[in-house]
Structure 1
């Protein structure tokens, strides 16, 4: 549970009369100017979406996506697999064999040789170190016996020279430092005075006029321009949103008008006129014509069958007349076989009279 007191929300600062006086006319003018622009913009947006969904996307898929997919699937992937297989067979496997059977034994031999060379060099280094230690010990003995007294004398001499220099040159150096400090103070005083004078001259001649110009001229003008710009920006935002609602209403009105003027009449004509006319044409013209065509086809097939039968009979009579009864046996047999086939076809039930167990057209119950 929150026991602390929540701070009260601060009220927005009161607006001046200039803001209120500018806001209404600016919003009216901006609204009048923005509404046509928003309507045209929404029209371009609708056309652009239609072109994007109906033209550009199918073209993009047909010209770019599908060829790229087909190229990747049927060219790049098989080619990459083939190149990988070739690289494995021609490069990787030979390199692995070379590493295992050639480089590894050679490397082991080089390592063994280097170990031997290192052992020899270690023995040589130990000998050189023993000799160097002997030389260093001899040099140290010579230095301790010969150069140490000379070094002590040089040190005593240098100490004496340092004491003489301290008693002579130290007062002179201090005097020089004091003079340098005085000259530096004098120069800094002069430079500071000149800087202060230049500062006040620049402040009086440049800074104060600029501050007065900024405070009494540019700042009020900037505040007015800021108020005008803020109101114009807010008016543009409000006008754009209001123009969007107006454009939506205009679009819906035009869509409704288009539907009433074009779509509904076309739908009414299709449902009320074209559909009944199509049904009438189908029932009164197309179906009778189809039945007539089927009847003509059946009659034509029957006529052709009877003509073929007549031709076979005439040929059988002609052979009988020329060769006797033996020449016409085959034609008569063919005619009898054809008649028997037609009789069997006539005895088969049609689609509308199919044989069933309960009907009287079966082989057990028919008369």
Structure 2
């Protein structure tokens, strides 16, 4: 691997060097002037907060590990014992058998009667209704074909005859009907159009023209108001935004960005400081308390404990075991003596108890030996 960077060949065109901040735009003097005091102030303010935060985190973790987690496990087990197991038992031994019993009852009381009703009542009834409907349809078709159709043909023939008669009568009265239509319909309609509808239409057209002119004047006024508002409101607002608010916003954005970066750096530095202080305090406590206690336990208490165990505890244990053994033997001898004394007193008062009579055993005694001619079975025994 080549560790030396190759020298760049000179080019005619100047190259743009990247900034040191990872591709960010070059920063001005205002940013540089704001950054250092802001970071110092923020660091001074954030370090106590971060140390207090780390202390709270350590205390919360200790509380969680020593109190909350065992308490939560205890609550979980208590809830399981008080709620989950009773609910499981209720479901398994009460609700499931009850549901099965209800399902069986529903099948016996509802499904089976419904199937029987459908199979032996509704199906024959429906088939009978369908047969009646087919029969009624056939009867209606016969009535339509044999009765209604001839009657309809007769009525149509009668209507054609009546129409022919009326046509013959109407040819003679055509002139009278035309005269009546002219003087009852055409003349009144022409008079209505000339003296009512035409003046009303002209008045409506004049009103519409006036409304149009008024709307044109209103639009012209709105345009004047628009230009007035543009000159008096919009242009000053644009100038205020462009020359005052935008530069102030850029400055505030730079300040906010720098404050945010300073907070991040200060928080990380405070974390390092808090970690260092915590490790120092831990080491100090370990060397002040833990190591002396370990040394005392290892070099003083452990040998003393071994000496006490070997010199005092073990001989005392052996002596206690021997005393206990002797005491048990003495108690056993005393119990045996008391038992024998009770037996002697009972024998003196009541005599010897009767001995049980000897019963012939089916098996030979242990002193007799078996021979070829003897047997212990019931079939071959002498």
Q: What range describes the TM-score normalised by the shorter chain of this pair? A: 0.5 to 0.7
TM-score, L = length of structure 2? 0.64
Which has the larger share of helix?
Answer: 1
CA RMSD of aligned residues (A): 4.6
Matched, 1:14 2:26: yes
User: Which residue of the partner structure matches residue 27 of structure 1?
Assistant: 39
Quote how far apart the aligned CAs of 1:115 are: 1.7
TM-score, L = length of structure 1? 0.66
User: Which residue of the partner structure matches residue 134 of structure 1?
Assistant: 152
Quote how far apart the aligned CAs of 1:310 are: 7.6
Report the Cα distance in structure 2 between the residues aligned to 1:27 and 1:131, rounded to whole angstroms.
Answer: 109
Report the Cα distance in structure 1 between the residues aligned to 2:161 and 2:286, rounded to whole angstroms.
Answer: 123
User: Which residue of the partner structure matches residue 235 of structure 2?
Assistant: 208
1:255 to 265, 282, 289: 282
1:266 to 282, 293, 308: 293
Question: Can you give the 5+ residue segments of structure 1 that lack an aligned partner in the other structure?
Answer: 1-7, 328-367
Matched, 1:106 2:117: no
1:69 to 72, 81, 84: 84
Deviations 1:308-356 (A, max 9, x none): 7888999999999x99xx98xxxxxxxxxxxxxxxxxxxxxxxxxxxxx
Quote how far apart the aligned CAs of 1:47 are: 2.4
User: Which residue of the partner structure matches residue 219 of structure 1?
Assistant: 246
Report the Cα distance in structure 1 between the residues aligned to 2:106 and 2:227, rounded to whole angstroms.
Answer: 85
2:137 to 102, 105, 122: 122
- Give the secondary structure class of the aligned counterpart of 1:79: helix
1:41 to 53, 58, 69: 53
Quote how far apart the aligned CAs of 1:288 are: 0.8
Deviations 1:81-138 (A, max 9, x none): 2332232233344322222223443331342244235335534764579849938957
Quote how far apart the aligned CAs of 1:197 are: 1.4
Report the Cα distance in structure 2 between the residues aligned to 1:215 and 1:230, rounded to whole angstroms.
Answer: 22
1:78 to 84, 93, 103: 93
Q: Quickly say closer, same or farther: Cα 1:92–1:55, change in 2 above 3 A.
A: farther
Aligned length: 311
**Higher relative contact order (Cα pairs below 8 Å, separated by 6+ residues):** 2
Q: Quickly say closer, same or farther: Cα 1:290–1:69, change in 2 above 3 A.
A: same
Question: Can you give the 5+ residue segments of structure 2 that lack an aligned partner in the other structure?
Answer: 1-16, 353-382
Quote how far apart the aligned CAs of 1:284 are: 0.2
Quote how far apart the aligned CAs of 1:282 are: 0.9
Q: Quickly say closer, same or farther: Cα 1:275–1:102, change in 2 above 3 A.
A: farther
Matched, 1:279 2:306: yes
